[in-house]
């Protein structure tokens, strides 16, 4: 059976078990098993993954902007192992909560250097 992964996965929203938006599928990472058969290892999301996929000037710009908003560039994409995916329909639905995934370095930098400095931001729901 032939599966068109790009059509089935790329650019779909990723939603956690509570319905919270995690991001979009920006790329797919493959691995190869012992017998030499490739398989989907994880889904990638984040500016770095999208920039690499797009390529060219726009892709390099996305990566550069993401790298600017982090303390430790280059920004690695968030890797969501396939075993965390519950199902794929109009969105990629995870079997875990968003806070069980590694935090986005860009979001952490923006929260620390921008959002946390806004008066009252500590009372906002996260």
* pLDDT tier for residue 2 given thresholds of 50, 70 and 90: low
Q: How, if at all, do strands 13-15 and 92-94 pair?
A: parallel
pTM beyond 0.85, yes or no: no
Question: Could you state, in order of their start, the residue ranges of all structural domains in the chain?
Answer: 5-123
> Residue 85: beta bridge partners?
94
- For residues 123 and 126, what is the distance between their CA atoms, to the nearest angstrom? 9
Position 1 scores a pLDDT of 45
Q: How, if at all, do strands 38-45 and 27-32 pair?
A: antiparallel
Compute how many other C-beta atoms are within 10 angstroms of the C-beta atom of residue 74: 11
Q: For 64-121, write each residue's pLDDT tens digit.
A: 988 888 888 887 888 999 999 999 999 999 999 998 988 777 777 877 888 888 887 6
Determine the topology of domain 5-123 in CATH: SH3 type barrels. (2.30.30)
């Amino acid at each position: 059976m032939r599966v068109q992964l790009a059509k089935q996965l790329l650019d779909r929203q990723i939603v956690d078990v509570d319905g919270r938006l995690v991001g979009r599928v920006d790329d797919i990472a493959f691995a190869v098993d012992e017998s030499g058969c490739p398989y989907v290892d994880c889904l990638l999301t984040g500016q770095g993954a999208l920039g690499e996929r797009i390529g060219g000037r726009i892709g390099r710009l996305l990566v550069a902007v993401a790298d600017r908003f982090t303390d430790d560039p280059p920004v690695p994409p968030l890797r969501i192992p396939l075993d965390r995916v519950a199902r794929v329909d109009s969105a990629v639905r995870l079997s875990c909560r968003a806070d069980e995934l590694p935090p986005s370095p860009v979001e952490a930098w923006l929260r620390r250097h921008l959002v946390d400095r806004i008066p009252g931001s500590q009372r906002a729901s996260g």
